Amino acid sequence: MRQHRRSLKNKPDVQQVLSPFGVTLGQLAERIGGELYGDAACVVTGVATLQGAQPGDITFLANPRYRKYLASTRASAVILSPKDKADCATAAVVVANPYVGYARVAALLYADRERAPVAGTHPTACVSADSRVHESSSIGPCCVIEADVNIAANVSIGPGCFIGKGAVIGEGSRFLANVTLCHGVHIGKRALIHPGAVIGSDGFGIANDNGVWIKVPQLGSVTIGDDVEIGANTTIDRGALEDTVIEDGVKLDNQIQVAHNVRIGAHTAIAGCVGIAGSAHIGRRCTVGGGVGISGHLEIADDVHITGMSFVTKSIKQPGVYSSGIPADTNQQWHKNTVRFRQLDEMARRLKALEDMLKQVQKQA
C-alpha cells in the first residue's frame, strides 16, 4: 500500500474525538498490539504524513520510498516495522504491518469524526406504512422507502436514497447519499455504501430475434454479505435467475461495474473502473487493480492478484499474480512495438521453418 500523503486538517476537539479510547501513545500502542519505544505518556492529537507531521501527531512508514523522511519527521511518534526501528529518532510503535497499524490508530483517534445521525425519520422522507424501520435507525431527507422493506437496528440512510420494495438492510449499515437499492436486494450487517451506488438494477440480458433485441427478464436479485464497502457510482446488477452475490468483507472502489450473476468471494478487494462481465466467479482474498476487464462465465481461484489494466479472458485456476497489457512508452517506441506485434505470427512461422531445416541438417550429419 502506498504512503498516506494527506494530513488530516481541522482536527476536532481532542476530548470529543478520542473518548473513550484515551489520548496517550501508550494507550494507542496497547490498542493496536504494538511494541512502544518512547514516552508512554506522550499525548497524541492526530495523524499526518511523515513529512507533514507536527508535534502531537502520529505518523507511519509503510512504503520504503518515504523512508527518506523518517530522520527529519517532526511527529511525536512513528508507526513502523522492526527493520526500520534503528533509523527512527523519535518515539516509535513497532508492528508487523505499519499500514494496518496506522489504519487502526486513525480509526481510534477519529472514531467520532462522523457522528451517527440522530435516530428517526426526516419529515421530507417518504416511508411506506408497510415497511419496518427499527426505532434506532435514521432515515434522512428526501428518502423513499417502499413497501415491505426491513431496516434493522442502527442503520443510517443518508439524504436522497431510494430503497425498493422488499429490500432488507442489516444492522449497523450506512448509506451515505443518493444510493439506489432496487427491489428485493439483501444487504448484510455493517455495510458502507457511498454516494451514487446502484444495487439491483437489471442485468444486461437481451436475446436477438432476427436482428431485433428482446429484453430477457432479470428475475434474480443481489445478496451482499457483512462488512462490505461499495464505492461511489458503483453498479451491481441483479441476477437473471439466481442472485448476484458479494460475500463478506468485500471492498469495492468507485465506478465498478458488476454484471448479473457475478460472484465475488469473501475479503476480495477491487479497485476503480473495473468491469466484470456476467456470471464471472471471483475467488476469496483476491485483489484486482484499477481498470481491469474480466470476461464473463469464467472462474478466478482464491488468492489471485491481477495488476491494473489487465484483461482476463480465460479462467485462472492457480493463485498468484497475473498481468497483461502494455505499459506506457514514448509514442515513437510504441509505434515500433506495434509494428513488431503485427509481425509476430509471420516471425513465428519463419522460426518454425528454420527449426525444421536445422533438424534435417542434424539428421544428415
Tell me which residues are annotated as active site: 260
Biggest distance spanned by C-alpha atoms of the chain: 95
316's grid cell: 485462472
**Would you say 212 and 268 are in contact if contact means Cβ atoms under 8 Å apart?**
no
* Terminal alpha carbon distance of the chain: 59
246's grid cell: 458479494
DSSP count for the chain of H helices, then E strands:
4, 37
**Would you say 258 and 236 are in contact if contact means Cβ atoms under 8 Å apart?**
yes
> Which of 309, 307, 315, 199 minimizes the C-alpha distance to 258?
199
In Å, how far are 22, 28, 148, 208, 309 from 41, measured between CA atoms?
Answer: 11, 11, 53, 71, 47
- Cα separation of 177 and 114, whole Å? 14
Instruction: Identify any residues that bridge with 224 across adjacent strands, giving them in sequence order.
Output: 187, 246
**Would you say 39 and 29 are in contact if contact means Cβ atoms under 8 Å apart?**
no
- Cα separation of 54 and 85, whole Å? 20
